Chain A
Amino acid sequence: MAHVLLVDDDVELVTLLCAYLENDGFRVSVAYEGESGVRSAVAAPPDIAVIDVMMPGFSGIEVLRRIRARSSLPVLMLTAKGDEDSRVLGLELGADDYVAKPCTPRELSARLRAILRRTLIRMEPDTAPAPDSVRIGELTLFPAQRRISWSSKDLALTNAEFNLLEVLIHNAGQPVSKSLLSEQALGRPFQRYDRSIDVHLSSIRRKLPALSDGRPRIQAVLRKGYQLLTD
């Protein structure tokens, strides 16, 4: 049973979501403000954390930053609709995805499952005989261990970044459309004007050394999506 940590200052909303998610097969723990949220995320790491961006005092962004400083736990942000800034900031700081508030609990639950599917499956070693590592030049993907390394040094990737890079590595050398990336890596259909993939990819780009000619290793291909360039 997946363990979800809900961090939101709206006590009533948390109670309602808690009831919904528990009935939906999650184990839920809650925190009503940022500080205790960070504490319980570190003390008893859940499988995934849901953090509201708008909280008095300790904002959700700050909570995310502190959690990210200590763990790569999957994080789903609850942002206000139209608040593009905190959305992009959250993704840049390593949130896995966001849901615009007000959302239906069903949407939230589906999003949680999508993220968990991508992280939990590979964390359990007994699911399938792990395929061997994939090697593209200096870049090596170890799917069973959920890590990607560059010349035998591990890259510090968040879950969403790992998922995206994994899809790109499997399709190395050819462009991958944004809708495929969204479905395979983020677990949801691509929506027009959704910038989360671009934000994630630009932060991966910063973590990967550039090509010998100075171009970034991940290239945006107009109207086609993104492509991992091979040497």
Chain B
Amino acid sequence: MPFLPLGRLFWKFLIFFFLAQATAVIGFGLAIWAIKPDQAMRPPPPPSFSVEHAPGDFLPPAPLLSPPPNPPGAELPLVHLLAGAIVSLLFAALLAAYISRPIRRLRTALQAAASGHLDPGLSAAMGKRHDELADLGHDFDRMARHLAQLMEGQRRLLHDVSHELRSPLARLNAIIGLARQQPDTLNDCLSRLERESSRMDRLLSELLTLSRLESGMVESLDEVVDLAELLSDVVTDAAPEVEQAESRVDLNVETSGKAALVRGDAEMLHRALDNLLRNALRHATAGKWVGIGLFLATDEVTVRIEDRGPGVLSSELDRLFVPFFRGTQMPGRSGHGLGLAIARQIVDQHHGRIEAHNRPEGGLCLTVVLPLVAAAA
């Protein structure tokens, strides 16, 4: 609205407020005038009235009108009316500005957000206001922050995915080049190619799992699962890997006779615990030992998975569950850094929590806490 410098809304409010006040004032005036037409409005006696008129003045035909519209002496108080009009105009302008300004700010912020500038700061621009409009500014800020976070997350994920896919592609290129250069290594190259392609396949399926979990597209979580049973299944399934890593797994279940029942999806929980165990096995290099413990508390169950590997730098502990994060102390590069991220998503879906800390005697300890099913029996 370039022809209205302060915005259409401001002028609308200005006119409405002014009209409202003017109507109120006129209404009041008419009412007072109608009720007391004789005492208040009537002029003092006529003698002075006739004197006051200059010779050229025409006299109001007073006798013709029964209630004179302009009673003699009670001329319209023009100065008062004007002053009143100005004051009420001023008041209307202030009121209009008070309401329309935050709305205009909100609009500017929304326009900026629409073109991609998601920086909060609207609540600061609202000043010391405390009302619904200021709340709107706070809400907008919160939304902008959240959106900016999400967008940053998406951008980082895309970057990580492209980088992650580039590494196997670089290896594929190198393998093909090697096969061309040294045809006698063809068989070896082909099996390497196979390994690379299955690795890429695994990466993609893990990514899909993660994105499905993050977007909350999960199946019903109302199955009752015995976590102790599930945990021993996980350990049994991982036996070949345990053998390959030449490690030992100690499973220690302390339920004192009670069942560790949690509500959720057995397959997903299996996957989460499996990821944690595999992660521990991969890092159990030095100690060749993984300890798994299950402990029951009154309303929650704790699963603890520890290893005697090199552990994680304390500065990296909180990033451990971020997709594609790999500790800098990790030897070589196996895995994509998605296993723990998936495990965390699954535990989150089950209203539990997952934590990592370094054991004082060396190695990493991952703890999963899940709420128990409210004791039915």
Contact = CB atoms under 8 A, between A and B. Distances in A.
B167 A20 contact: no
B175 interface: yes
B166 A81 contact: yes
B60 interface: no
A102 B332 CA distance: 20
A57 B185 CA distance: 34
A17 interface: yes
Contacts of A56: 326, 328
Interface string B162-190: 11001101111111111011100100000
B172 A102 contact: yes
A24 B181 CA distance: 8
B333 interface: yes
B158 to A, nearest CB: 12
A63 to B, nearest CB: 15
A154 B333 CA distance: 44
Contact of B174 (A11, A16, A23): A16
A212 B25 CA distance: 81
Contact of A9 (B162, B171, B172, B333): B333
Count class of interface residues, chain A: 20 to 34
Contacts of A24: 181
B5 to A, nearest CB: 43
B177 A10 contact: no
A104 B182 contact: no
B67 to A, nearest CB: 87
Interface in A1-47: 9-13, 16-17, 19-20, 23-24
A105 B178 contact: yes
What DSSP secondary structure best describes chain B's contact surface? helix
A111 to B, nearest CB: 13
A16 B178 contact: yes
Given A23-B182, A56-B328, A57-B328, A80 B163 contact: yes
B166 A11 contact: no
Contacts of B181: 20, 23-24, 105-106
Given A24-B181, A104-B177, A54 B163 contact: yes
What DSSP secondary structure best describes chain A's contact surface? mixed
A17 to B, nearest CB: 6
A105 B173 CA distance: 7
A20 B326 contact: no
Contacts of A11: 332-333
A112 to B, nearest CB: 14
Nearest to A9: B333
A103 interface: yes
Interface in A48-106: 54, 56-57, 80-81, 101-106
A178 B244 CA distance: 57
Interface residues of B, number: 23
Given A10-B333, A12-B171, A13-B171, A102 B178 contact: no
A106 B166 contact: no
A8 to B, nearest CB: 9
Nearest to B167: A10
A9 B326 CA distance: 13
A124 B351 CA distance: 70
A103 B326 contact: no
Interface string A112-154: 0000000000000000000000000000000000000000000
Contact of A103 (B167, B170, B185, B192): B170
Interface centre among A24, A57, A105, A106 (most CB of B within 10 A): A105
Contact of A13 (B174, B185, B332): B174
A106 B167 contact: no
A20 B175 CA distance: 9
Contact of B167 (A13, A17, A57, A81): A13
Contact of A101 (B166, B180, B185, B332): B166
Contacts of A54: 163
Contacts of B163: 54, 80
Nearest to B175: A16
Given A11-B333, A16-B175, A23-B181, A102 B166 contact: yes
A54 to B, nearest CB: 6
A68 B255 CA distance: 61
A87 to B, nearest CB: 15
A105 B177 contact: yes
Interface centre among B174, B178, B328 (most CB of A within 10 A): B174
Contacts of B170: 10, 13, 101-103
Contact of A104 (B162, B176, B326): B176
B332 A17 contact: no
Interface of B: 162-163, 166-167, 169-178, 180-182, 185, 192, 326, 328, 332-333
Given A10-B167, A16-B174, A106-B180, 5 more contacts: A19-B182, A24-B181, A103-B170, A105-B173, A106-B177
Give 6 closest A-B pairs by Cβ, nearest first.
A105-B177, A102-B170, A16-B174, A102-B169, A57-B328, A102-B173
18 contacts: A12-B171, A13-B170, A13-B174, A16-B178, A19-B182, A19-B185, A20-B177, A24-B181, A80-B166, A81-B166, A101-B166, A101-B170, A102-B166, A103-B173, A104-B174, A105-B174, A105-B177, A106-B177
